[in-house]
Chain A
Amino acid sequence: MTDLPLLSVLIFLPLAGCLLLLPVWNCRVSARPIALGVALIELALAAWLYASWRGLSTIPAQLPGYLLQEDAAWIPAFGIRYTLGLDGISLLMVMLTAFTFCVALTVSWNSITEKTGLFLTLMLVMESGIMGVFLALDLALFYLFWEVMLIPMFFLIGVWGHGRRIYSTIKFFLFTMFGSLLMLLAIVALHLTHAQQTGVATFGLHELLGTQIAPETQLWLFGAFFLAFAIKFPLFPLHTWLPDAHTDAPTAGSVILAGLLLKTGSYGLIRFGYPLFPQAAQTLTPLLYALAVIGIIYASLVAFAQEDMKRLIAYSSIGHMGFVAIGIAAWQPVALSGSIIQMANHGVTTGALFCLVGMLDERAHTRDIRAFGGLWGKIPRYSFFFLFFSLASLGLPGLNNFVGEFLVLVGTMKKAPLVAALAFVGIVLTLVYTVRLVQEVLFQEERQPLPLADLSLREFSLLVVLALLDLWMGVHPAPLLDMIHLPVQLLTGTP
């Protein structure tokens, strides 16, 4: 099985699935199962990789810590190669991607009624793009997939979204594009510096790792990379695109945005930003700490004031990603492991929360908190899951977010105790707005009589799967932590 170019299959399988959709473009009933089928095959492939990662790690690979690699010449004129690599961190992200797309396709089963063929095609193309981002090891290839991710999301928000969808999608696209273009210049500059020093023109990550760069230049280059990733995280004050994009996107779009697109920023920083420019990263660590902490506290405070449920969860995402940022800034094995686990945790939990809000939106056609109340008595099963995932989001021990936040705090305590203390304050603030949300929506007196049906079988099974996954990640995170142990050690340079 390892003779197949598995990584390329992971990337291009969804694209091939788009071709399968062409004959049933206009027939909604047959197109949806085909798309979901392709996503499930992808998930099966990711699950197989997970099941066999220990076996793969015993095969000596070209690079230490990598499980699988692929390399082929692509554009010799520039020195760009088609290089893909899978290590523990990427595997976690790949699994998250495959799983999240299944979730997104399932949750939008009934809610997307027009231009379904186009919608499903865009989802599959985006899956390819995001897989590519997590697997690419050549900087130019990474940049290509980074940009390709944007295009389907632009259409997704703009066509099937609601509210100020056109404004939100253009803002999202332009904001992200601006950062990415500066990153492109930094990539080219890095390539040229390396070519000047060693005479080898290459864009491959591992060839570029040893380049000697003058400190000021390094600062500029890292700054460009950091800008692009900070916009995606998002870090305060570059977060302004996120509330609009999340709120005005359709449910599937929000799930993908929160679950995956935000993680591409942190993944990029871990994989490319820090290893390529270590000194500059150390210099900017205080800035990253500051922005992350301000982000957590600011986002939590603003979330408390929100009336739109989706906007509230969007701001909570900023807060959670702030934790991820702190863990990365600490650059210490425990904290970094915590960050990476938190990336996966957040994907599951917030994805589930957006699903829940989407389901409520489909029924009541509103997301305003003030319209709801007393759902616990009316739709008990839905309310159970709402409470469950809200508790997960605020970091209840036993559920997945706790693991990530705990590891981040422990790791950061060693390096920067003040930051850890402030982050802890952030957790308390998270508690505040989550409790407010749960109380107003589930437990308060019913404010408007709304005809709400409880969960259908499809929704119920989806939420059960998410809840079990959440529980498993919270109670038994050891296998995942094992998986990322070696890459994290190699990245942070500890023996």
Chain B
Amino acid sequence: MLGAYLPILLLVIVAIGFGLVSLVMSSLIGPKKFSVLKMSPYESGCEPVGTGQERFSIKFYLIAMLFILFDIEAVFLYPWAILYKKLGMFGLIEMGIFIVILFVGYIYVWKKGALEWE
């Protein structure tokens, strides 16, 4: 039964091998000529300004996380949308509870000020 997965294992090995071999070969065979310009980080052709290690503002993380949460909520609403008629009242109540729970979270987030950008 496990034999059916053999091709996948081979694919994984080939994929990893491909990446590894490329890197190893290029470091072994390729010429090594270092210059300051080549080693500096790439910023679309402009001169790099400031240090490379800026502190990320936490609000990016918050927005990303809130997006994920409400996006998943939307994803869960799709199957209900398809089977809406067949699930009838039961489906309405069940999904209603689901939406209310997330709505509580939404109110909490709103009142806490996480939706303010500044």
Complex A–B touching at CB under 8 A = no
